[in-house]
Amino acid sequence: MQVSPPARQPWPAVALGAVGPAANLDTNCVADHRAGVDYFPQKTAFSHSAQLQVSYGAHFKRVRFTPTVATGEVLEFLLVQCGTPVPAHGPHVPVIQVPIQRLVTGNSAMLGALDELGLVDRLFGAESTRSVTVPSVRRRIEQGLVHDMWGYGHASIEPVMAVQPDVYLTFYSAYPQGNMHPRLWELGVRAIPQADHHELHPLGRAEWLKLLALLTNREARGNALFDGIVARYEHWKAIAAQARFRPRVMSGFAAGRDTVETFGGRNQRARLIHDAGGEYVLADDHRAGSLVFEPFERVYAKGADAPVWLGTLGGRADRQQLVAANALHGWFSATRTGRVYAWDRGYTGAWAHPHQDQSMSRPDVLLAEAISVLHPPLMPPPASLQFLRQLP
């Protein structure tokens, strides 16, 4: 497949004088840089993410990424307002001119936030154009403006290089040998690892939308969007706290003959179950991993009688198909009583459903839907759910 780089026009440069801009420049460069002028009057900070930090200079931002998984690296990125000088930095610190014009993502989780921030017109590549569900992104794909990056490790290096992105958001694996960003840096691609899936709290995951805001100087919009998410999440959490009992909740699915693919008790999905008024059957597991393979016997001993199964294998039309996929699914009480749910509403095939590319910035919706399943008297199920589906 041949990919030609899309045409590019530089941002217009504007003269701002000694006063500086009244708002961050999201479509302009600086024509008359002056030392000491604050070119980012609208700032942000990370309050819930366990992995991201940002500090501001007058015309630059330093973003630090400290993964929660034990890969042994701490990364820093220098974001410099275009039209201003690059400050001193370490030899291995990638420098990115902001606001960026051209983004490629190797992890579809950011696509919903991209739409909510009004930045879809800056997307030029995605890990798979076939599995996107965000309407505005789908329209851009149909116009031929988004290139398919699919390949090993959520993207192929050659198409990423061909599109010539200002930033490539690369999927961050807990296994260092699976990460592409070191090689991409060597090839001149400004790759930033995306690790929202390694956050410890659903709100920490949602706060990754602020990374997009930082790259495009849209901090004010990012702050407003995130503050609304937090307010709604805390509202639903307070309602769930009124529950008189906490039902035990099974999650994950049988993988092969003797293991269950699930997540640790400190993972963000376990926190979502807790905040929804449930008790995750592996809550005593102190791992934060988003992908944990547990011996089937251990999970069965803890979850066999759990009344609710919240989050199972997606893409199965009903419980009969779920059991056909692996007979071990039929051993659990929730399967027999019909209280099995998957986060796959709107599924159209291999990884294509709204939860995959829209749920990152909507933990409040995920929480509300979970509460409606665990505590219907407190929150009756809405007429239509956005992400959650009960298997008939």
Q: What confidence score (pLDDT) does residue 2 get?
A: 61
Candidates 167, 218, 223, 211; CA nearest to 28 is 218
| In contact, 202 and 212? CB cutoff 8 Å | no
Beta bridge partners of 96: 79
Residue 19 is predicted with a pLDDT of 95
Q: Which residues of the chain have pLDDT under 70?
A: 1-3, 151-155
Task: Give the chain's domains with CATH numbers.
Answer: 13-229 (3.40.50.1980), 241-390 (3.40.50.1980)
Q: Which pLDDT tens digit goes with each residue over 326-374?
A: 999 999 999 999 999 999 999 988 778 999 999 999 999 999 999 999 9
Nearest of 306, 313, 95 to residue 185 by alpha carbon: 95
Give residue 178's pLDDT. 81
Q: Which pTM does this prediction carry?
A: 0.95
The pLDDT, as a whole number, for residue 352 is: 86
268-275 vs 219-240: helix crossing angle, rounded to 10: 50
Query: pLDDT tens digits, residue range 138-192?
Result: 999 999 999 988 765 566 788 888 889 999 999 998 888 888 888 889 888 999 9
Two tokens at 54? 């940002």
Tokens read off for 266: 């400190």
Contacts of 375-383 with CB under 8 Å at 24 or more apart are 375/240, 375/243, 375/276, 375/277, 378/239, 378/240, 378/242, 378/243, 378/277, 379/236, 379/239, 379/240
Burial of 12 (C-beta count, 10 Å sphere; 0-12/13-18/19+): exposed
Give DSSP secondary structure letters for 136-190.
Answer: HHHHHHHTT-SEE--SGGGS-HHHHHHH--SEEEEEPPSSGGG--HHHHHHTT--
* Tokens found for residue 369: 């839907």
By the 8 A CB rule, do 20 and 38 touch?
yes
Helix (H, G, I), strand (E, B) or coil at 197: helix
pLDDT at 151: 62
> Are 115 and 136 a contacting pair, CB within 8 Å?
yes
